[in-house]
Amino acid sequence: MLGHRNMSLEDYLGMLRRHIWVIVVPMLVLPVVAYGVSLILPERFTSQTLVLVEQQKVPTTIVQSMMTDQLNERLGTMQQQILSRTRLQPMIEQYGLYKDDVAAKVPMEDLVAKMRKAITVTPVKPVVTARQGEVPGFTIAFDADNARTAQLVCTEITSMFIKENLALRAQRAESTTEFLQKQVEEAKRKLDEKDQRVAEFKRRYLGQLPGQEQSNMNILMGLTQQLEAVTQLLTRTHQDKTYSESLLAQQIAAWESSQQGNNPQTLETQLAALQNQLITLEARYTPDHPDVAKMKADIAQLKKKIDEANATAKEKPTDKDKAAAAKLNEPPQIQQLRNQIYQYVMTIKEKTRDQERMQEQIKIYRSRVELSPLVEQQYNEILRDYTTAQQFYDDLLKKRSASEVAADLERRQQSEQFRVMDPPNLPEKPTFPNRLLFAGGGFAGGLGLGFGIGLLLELKDKSIRTEADIEALLQLPTLALVPSVLDGGNRSRGLLGRIRKTEERALPGAGA
């Protein structure tokens, strides 16, 4: 009648008394069976080792490690490499693992998969809070059917992890250094191209580069002032030349008019007059007197002219010779004017050349000043590219130097290392099967089985045992109880049968 009403503690105790043997028998039999099964199962031995991670001996603030990934990730990568078929198959053949399976010609893929399951790599939980991904070490365990074999294989696997870590770190450092070296060479080539471009731009726009605008303006102002001065000088020189030419024309006209009576007879008359004056002066002064000396010099010069005139008259010179002779005989004032006019002409030519040169320079510097904003923009673009390339090159040089130091640190084995803290142990007792665990499991299984069977029997039992069962079943109050009839088995069974039929008719829906 389980489930028709609320059960009390006495009801549960009554059920326990009714099915006690159903619970006790499985509880006693199953532990014995489980222990017996554990005696039949093949034994497995587990060898385990503890590997600690020694941190880098040189502070990371001085030498940065090349291993940026977390140890958990590295362990996963190394585990996949070590547990590959190329690594496990030689160990299976070397240590003679799974002989029965080999004799049964089990495929090597299945043996490798079986060995993978026998290998366990477990990170050690840190005692203090560490950064995500950092672990102080890890344990390696291997299960085998022989204790010595388990120890040897565990030792081999541990050695493979240590060697793989060293090789991985060395390869990472070397590959990083090689990659950075190629990047440095490429960056150097690009930097040289940028440098050449900057130098070419400077040669092309020499004097127009940024920072030279003020000097160009100063030079332009200076050239403008010099051009004004030269222009003023040219103007004055032209004026002076014009004045000298007019004065020269006057002097030549006066001299030529005075030369019309320049014949030997006239000169001799002048000579006689001068000689008379000399006689008068000698009578008055001494021979050293200046007037006497000047008069003597004039007489001598006049005699010379008389001789030249006589010679010229004898030779009958041409017009050209007459002009040349006349020019040679020009007075010093006329010759001086001619020299002065010549100097003016030469000055005008020189200053004109200076003026043209200054005008060209002014055009150049004015063009530089006008093009300065455009040149500055182009130069800034080129210089920005060069600066970026220079910074990138310097950054790569620093990284390459740091990588070379890190690679040297790896070669000296001063970086992060795996150190075996506890060598693989030689198991003294099998880890499987655990006979006590098997017996405990059998006891728990038997207890659960017994209670399950008892509950099933109780659910199938429709017996009415108490007044509460009748009220819960009929939903009517109980008027009287019929005592059990102990004599006469048939009679008792007949009475019980009639009671059950009455019960069934009283149940709702019994008429149907």
Going by C-alpha positions, the residue among 168, 192, 115 that lies closest to residue 417 is 168
From the candidate CATH numbers 1.10.3470, 1.20.1300, 3.40.50, 1.10.287, the one assigned to the domain spanning 213-381: 1.10.287
- The secondary structure of residue 444, as a DSSP letter, is H
Tokens 């060598």: give the residue.
Answer: 423
Distance CA 144, CA 114 (A): 11
Q: Is 488 exposed, middle or buried (0-12, 13-18, 19+ CB in 10 A)?
A: exposed
Helix, coil or strand: residue 404: helix
Q: Which helix (H) or strand (E) holds 344?
A: helix 332-411
Q: Alpha helices of 205-263 — where are they, by DSSP H?
A: 213-258
Which tokens in the block code for residue 90?
A: 């030689």
DSSP string across 438-471 = HHHHHHHHHHHHHHHHHHHHHHH-----SHHHHH
317 with 325: CB under 8 angstroms? yes
Helix and strand counts by DSSP (H, E) for the chain: 15, 4
381 with 235: CB under 8 angstroms? no
Distance CA 327, CA 321 (A): 10
Distance CA 263, CA 255 (A): 15
Going by C-alpha positions, the residue among 155, 143, 171 that lies closest to residue 51 is 155
Q: Give the chain's radius of gyration (CA, Å).
A: 67
207 with 366: CB under 8 angstroms? no
The 10 Å Cβ neighbour count of residue 96 is 10
Nearest-10 Cα torsion for 197, 200, 202, 207: -150
pLDDT tens digits, residue range 117-164?
Answer: 999 998 888 766 555 556 788 899 999 888 899 999 999 999 999 888
Q: Alpha helices of 259-289 — where are they, by DSSP H?
A: 264-284
Give the distance, in angstroms, between the CA of residue 268 and the centroid of all CA atoms in the same chain.
112
Q: Is 447 exposed, middle or buried (0-12, 13-18, 19+ CB in 10 A)?
A: middle
Alpha-carbon distance values, 368 to 212, 376, 444 (Å): 10, 11, 102
Question: 0.75 cut: is pTM over it?
Answer: no
Alpha-carbon distance values, 79 to 85, 112, 138, 286 (Å): 12, 14, 12, 141
Distance CA 86, CA 76 (A): 17
Going from N- to C-terminal start, the domains of the chain cover 213-381
pLDDT, residue 48, reads: 92
pLDDT, residue 350, reads: 92
Give the distance, in angstroms, between the CA of residue 219 and the centroid of all CA atoms in the same chain.
46
Distance CA 501, CA 88 (A): 75
Distance CA 195, CA 392 (A): 14
Averaged over successive runs of 10 residues, the pLDDT of the chain (512 residues) comes to 62 76 83 79 85 76 66 81 90 88 89 91 73 73 90 92 86 86 91 89 79 82 89 90 82 67 58 73 75 79 76 56 53 81 90 90 84 83 89 90 81 77 86 76 85 80 66 64 54 52 50 36
| Preceding omega of 433 cis (within 30 degrees of 0) | yes
pLDDT, residue 157, reads: 92
Which tokens in the block code for residue 22?
A: 């159903």
pLDDT, residue 509, reads: 43
pLDDT, residue 349, reads: 92
Q: How many CA atoms lie within 13 A of 143 on its CB side?
A: 15
61 with 154: CB under 8 angstroms? no
pLDDT, residue 158, reads: 92
The contacts of residue 202 (CB under 8 Å, 6+ apart) are 209
The 10 Å Cβ neighbour count of residue 335 is 14
163 with 155: CB under 8 angstroms? no
